[in-house]
Amino acid sequence: MIHHVSVEVAELERSAPFYDAVLGALGWRRHIDTDEVIAWGIVRPVFFASSRRPQGPGGGHICFTANAIPAVKASWEGGLAAGGTDDGAPGPRPEYGGSYYSAYLLDPDGHRVEIAVGPS
């Protein structure tokens, strides 16, 4: 189980609308909202975007769970509309299991964000 994840962003004001759109479509809301940190979750904050430290080159990716295919699509579309870049349109990913369905975006700082439904 993951307790929480955080990413350093160059401009919190630019990244916040992206994550509001992506995570709002999944039923997440802001739990913390300061000048340096915003945190989202359902019951508690589990994903943090921070401008406390310099943003550096990214690695790996973040994957958020959706409850169904329409939520994957809505999250991906919301992220694109809020300044994200397409890095893999919504679709089946049979290489990860027969029912795995996901979409990929790059956030405004280039972090790779996946939204998925199905076994991992």
> For position 52, what pLDDT does the model report?
82
pLDDT in tens, 7-46: 999 999 999 999 999 999 999 999 999 999 999 999 999 9
- Burial of residue 44 (CB within 10 Å: 0-12, 13-18, 19+) is exposed
**Structure token pair of residue 65:** 């769970």
pLDDT above 70 coverage of the chain, percent? 92
Residue 120: pLDDT over 70: no
Domains of the chain: 5-117 (3.10.180.10)
Which has more confidence, 63 or 1? 63
- Burial of residue 24 (CB within 10 Å: 0-12, 13-18, 19+) is middle
Look over the chain and give the mean of its residue pLDDT values, rounded to a whole number.
Answer: 91
**Structure token pair of residue 7:** 């990413």
Q: Please, which residues have CB within 8 angstroms of residue 81's CB and are 6 or more apart in sequence?
A: 21
